[in-house]
Amino acid sequence: MKQLFFLAPGDLAWDDVEAPVLEGPGEAIVKPLAVARCDLDAAIVGGEAPFRGRALHFLRNHLPERVGQKGLFKNAPFRGPYPLGHECVAEVLAVGSDVTSFAKGDRVVVPFQISCGACERCKRGLTASCTGVPPRSMYGFGALGGMRWGGMLCDAVRVPFAEAMLVAAPKGVPNALLASTGDNVVDGYRTVAEPLAKTPRAPVLVVGGLATSVGLYAVACARALGASEVVYHDVNRDRLELAEKLGAKVVEGPYRTQRGGYPITVDASATPAGLAAAMLSTEPGGTCTSVGIYYDERTPVPLRGAYGIGLTFVTGRVQARTELPHVLALLADQRLDITAATTLVARWDDAAEAMKHRGAKVVVSRD
């Protein structure tokens, strides 16, 4: 079968690989129908990912003679080649004998994290930290997520715990809207869902940035869940325009504390300035959730200001499988509209070029 591989920043290619087969009675084989590019994929493909990507981007522009040097970046987390893609809606091709909830032909959403559903952590909803598989087991992240799981830009994917992982796709919702729900949409949802349940109709501030689509999905989810106001603060005009289409009031300019404070704030900037703006814009007793990945261990955090405010700060990976049914229910009820966040829907065969598109959310589809 054909599989799309990340080779190096800006360099993607299809290759022939063996099709997966069922390896146990609790497994399923699915065919991806639409695959979305996540925010981290965009950074990796664009040469802006941490360590290897950023270093290669610098080398290609300043020291091109060192590109390809043996041993360079051997410990980097995103070294190619590896199979790309981890957000998808799919069709079930085959199931093992123990799988009773799904059958051939069913349309399903596959969360990007591998989780057994039976361990103590999974039962507590901590599906990102399942103890039934090696830590950080994920599709589409190469060695970082475990090469054994492969990627989703291919003709068939093996799902090891089908009953626990797969979620039925809601009828009537197009594949292009479902494609990103297994990662970035649920990541945006979790930043506002629990805080809004505790403080209904509270205003929400989203500080946008490098976690591009997650911040935009946080806007859409806050609107769907009844926030009285959603303010989106960013330095990027394109992202601001998308946030406005999704129903936010926008603030353009350098990251800064928003006066008055918000009960719910979201940091999707992945920058120290954006993090500080989100935390210090939180009102006393409020919740600030950061979805940006900070690879610098020395990232400054405004603890003195946060201490003076008195807030709850949340960071960490999304529990994708736990949150997924809630997001799909909002889409099925037409309460959640994320259409504007998708900036390109491309043909499946054009995936290698489409993944390099500079927009917020790219989807490649067989439709």
Residue 113 lies in a domain: yes
Residue 50 binned pLDDT confidence (cut-offs 50, 70, 90): low
| Shared domain check, 303 and 355 | no
Averaged confidence pLDDT in the chain: 92
Q: Which pLDDT score, from 0 to 100, does residue 60 have? A: 46
Q: Which domain holds residue 206?
A: 184-315
Q: Which pLDDT score, from 0 to 100, does residue 199 have? A: 97
Q: Are residues 198 and 52 in the same domain?
A: no
48 and 191 both lie in a single domain? no
Q: Are residues 11 and 153 in the same domain?
A: yes
Domain assignment of residue 337, yes or no: no
Is the omega angle on the peptide bond into residue 81 within 30 degrees of 0, that is, cis?
A: yes
First to last CA, the chain: 19
- Residues 117-129, mean pLDDT to the nearest whole number: 98
Q: Place 64 in a pLDDT band, splitting at 50, 70 and 90.
A: very low
In the chain, the number of structural domains is 2
Distance CA 262, CA 96 (A): 49
Cβ neighbours of residue 107 closer than 8 Å, sequence gap 6 or more: 33, 89, 90, 91, 92, 168, 169
Angle between helix axes 212-224 and 186-198 (nearest 10 degrees) is 40
Q: In this predicted model, what pLDDT tens digit does every residue of 216-227 receive, in sequence order?
A: 999 999 999 999
Q: Are 160 and 247 contained in the same domain?
A: no
Residues 162 and 54 in one domain: yes
Residues 145 and 74 in one domain: yes
The predicted-structure confidence for 23-34, as pLDDT tens digits, reads as follows: 999 999 999 999
- Looking at the fold, whether 148 and 224 belong to one and the same domain comes out as no
pLDDT band at 143 (very low <50, low <70, confident <90, very high): confident
CATH number, domain containing residue 22: 3.90.180.10
Same domain membership, residue 48 and residue 18: yes
Per-residue pLDDT tens digits for 293-317: 887 778 999 999 999 999 999 999 9
